[in-house]
Amino acid sequence: MPRDFYATSAQVLPIILLAFLWDSRFLENIATESRSVRRLDPEKGVLFWTRRRVRIYSLFVATTITINIGICLLVLVGLVGDSPLVRGLVLGGTTLALATLLTRAYVEIIKATGRLPSPDGTHADQPTGRLPSADSIKTDE
């Protein structure tokens, strides 16, 4: 039974890592976004997730996932024994990865479908992201 846990984790964690870093253009978005603190840019500034904090957290999560993959492989080849501590490390790393991925999904969904206040004070469903212009849509004519 524990062997299945490590084998499954070793297969799932790289997919989570790929989804975390390269899916939905995360790195490109971070590189192009202005992430100054709110006190310097009250209109578009961020409360907590400055570029430096995003970099540190992203590197921490990527490192944690990679270490967990390595631990799983070491257990599978028999170089590290199964123990509650090792299972806890892998489970903790997997939980961190999944929670981070869920948070990213939540933020992206809200950003793409967020509600903007209308001039009359009510909320209207309007996308907050940029939509393609009519000129950029190619048709087969």
Please tell me the pTM assigned to this model.
0.71
The CA distance from 11 to 109, in Å, is 26
Q: Specify the pLDDT at position 118.
A: 52
Three-state secondary-structure class, residue 117: strand
Q: Which parts of the chain register pLDDT below 50?
A: 128, 141
Q: Which DSSP string do the residues of 120-140 spell out, in sequence order?
A: TSSEEE---SPPPPGGGS---
The CA distance from 82 to 79, in Å, is 10
Q: Specify the pLDDT at position 120.
A: 56
- Could you give the C-alpha distances from 72 to 31, 137, 138, in angstroms and in order? 32, 46, 47
Q: Specify the pLDDT at position 45.
A: 72
Q: Residues near 140 by Cβ (< 8 Å), separated by ≥ 6?
A: none
Q: Which DSSP string do the residues of 12-54 spell out, in sequence order?
A: HHHHHHHHHHTGGGHHHHHHHS---BTTT-TTT-BSS--HHHH
Q: Specify the pLDDT at position 29.
A: 76
Q: Specify the pLDDT at position 130.
A: 54
Q: Residues near 101 by Cβ (< 8 Å), separated by ≥ 6?
A: 16, 19, 20
Question: What single DSSP character describes residue 78?
Answer: T
Domain range summary for the chain, segments of one domain joined by +: 2-116
Q: Specify the pLDDT at position 85.
A: 96
Q: Specify the pLDDT at position 104.
A: 86
